[in-house]
Amino acid sequence: MIKENLDLYEVFIRARRGLDHKHVGSLHAEDPEQALEYARDIYTRRGEGVSIWVVRSRDITASQEDDSEAFYDPSNDKPYRLATYYELPDEVNNM
Amino acid sequence: MKDTERKQATLEYAQRLGDDAVVLGHRLSEWCSNAPFLEEDLALANTALDFIGRARMYYSYAAELADDGRDEDDFAYLRDQREYRNLLLLELPRGDFAYSMARQFLADVYNLLFLERLMQSSDERLAAIAAKAIKESRYHLRRSRDWMLRLGDGTEESHARLQRAIDDLWGFTHELFEIDALEQALVEQGVAVDTPALRDAWLEQVEQTLAEATLERPADDWAVKGGREGYHTEYLGHLLTEMQALHRAYPGCDW
């Protein structure tokens, strides 16, 4: 098998029931079933998880570095979006 | 069967099962850093460690039964090939990747059927070892069966290699379903697995996967046997030489 034919997969593991799946790394595999098995062998050998998700890396749509100005800068001058911007009356100060 | 006889026979039986596990584990470990790609390398090394762990459980039990100061290391590292009683299928060289996967598949189907029965053993220790090992074997079979389908129903090259591997290995599978006087006596005590009774179920599963993988089932026209009596292929000696070298050079070494 030629490695160039293999797809890259991102692996997400849920460490315990009730927690979110967390991204732990990536691996190469021929199809999703094989990716799941390799994820088990590579990322859960020391009892790290109770559930695994694998996703083809190319199926992930990611923001680009070039987008950062348009995406993130506008929020810098909008402090009113943060809860700490508001002064709360004493009665509700424990929010 | 007297208690002392039963103990001696169980010791011998545990040792055989330990030999099976350590030899296959070592063959799998030879793929470490040699597998087709990194992910498969790690997966194979994991499987190898499962078998070596299994060997430790069987040998530790054998050492307890022997009660003569020997430990698991003595069983693995200080016996020569004539004293090893593993099945020949498991000691054959790793060959190419298709060959290793074909052997693994044939062994995994067998192991699963075997361990299901061993879990019912009247010997509690053997039953407990089987209960632990069967979970690993279910995963091993999932993997090796997957590879049978991928390679068998893959490219012309992978199909040809896998078919050749199955053809070359087939004659070594008959030994899996042989039974000698020692095991027969233990079967009657409810300790050992009646392996001849496993053959039909094994064949059914193997034939089904071979068909799915577009492979031909080889004819039953040759058979090699002798592992349980200590008569081995020329390959076991080389395997043991490598596996035992460190322990023999530095007896009892630990790290």
The domain total for chain A is: 1
Write the class of the CATH domain B3-249. Answer: mainly alpha
Return the domain boundaries, chain B. 3-249
Which residues in B lie closer than 8 A to residue A33 (C-beta atoms)? 146
pTM for the complete prediction?
A: 0.91
- The CATH number assigned to the domain holding A81 equals 3.10.20.520
Residues 6+ apart with CB under 8 A from B188: B1
CB within 8 A of B18, min separation 6: which ones? B54, B55, B57, B58, B59, B62, B75, B76
**Closest-CA residue in chain A for B158?**
A1
* DSSP bridge pairs for A27: A9
Residue-number span of the structural domain to which A76 is assigned? 3-86
**CA-based nearest residue to B40, from B144, B157, B168:** B144
- Domain assignment of residue A92, yes or no: no
CA A11 – CA A56 distance, rounded (Å): 9
* Backbone angles phi and psi of B178, in degrees to 5: -90, 155
* Residue A6 near chain B (CB below 8 Å): yes
CA distance A3 to B46: 21
* Tally of CB atoms within 10 A around B3: 7
Number of neighbours of residue B155 by Cβ within 10 angstroms: 11
Q: Is residue A94 part of a domain?
A: no
pLDDT tens, chain B, 255 aa long: 788 999 999 999 999 999 999 999 999 999 999 999 999 999 999 999 999 999 999 999 999 999 999 999 999 999 999 999 999 999 999 999 999 999 999 999 999 999 999 999 999 999 999 999 999 999 999 999 999 999 999 999 999 999 999 999 999 999 999 999 999 999 999 999 999 999 999 999 999 999 999 999 999 999 999 999 999 999 999 999 999 999 999 988 887
User: Which residue, among B28, B31, B37, B101, would best test binding to A if mutated, counting the most A CBs under 10 Å from its CB?
Assistant: B37
Q: Residue A29: list chain B partners with CB under 8 A.
A: 39
A36 touches chain B (CB under 8 A): no
Q: Residue A55: enclosing H or E segment and its boundaries?
A: strand A51-56
How close does chain A come to B47, measured CA to CA in Å?
A: 9
Decide if A49 is inside a domain.
yes
Nearest to B11 by CA among B67, B79, B66, B52: B66
Enclosing H/E stretch for A21: strand A21-29
Beta bridge partners of B215: none
Residue B233 neighbours by CB distance under 10 Å? 18
ipTM of the complex: 0.84
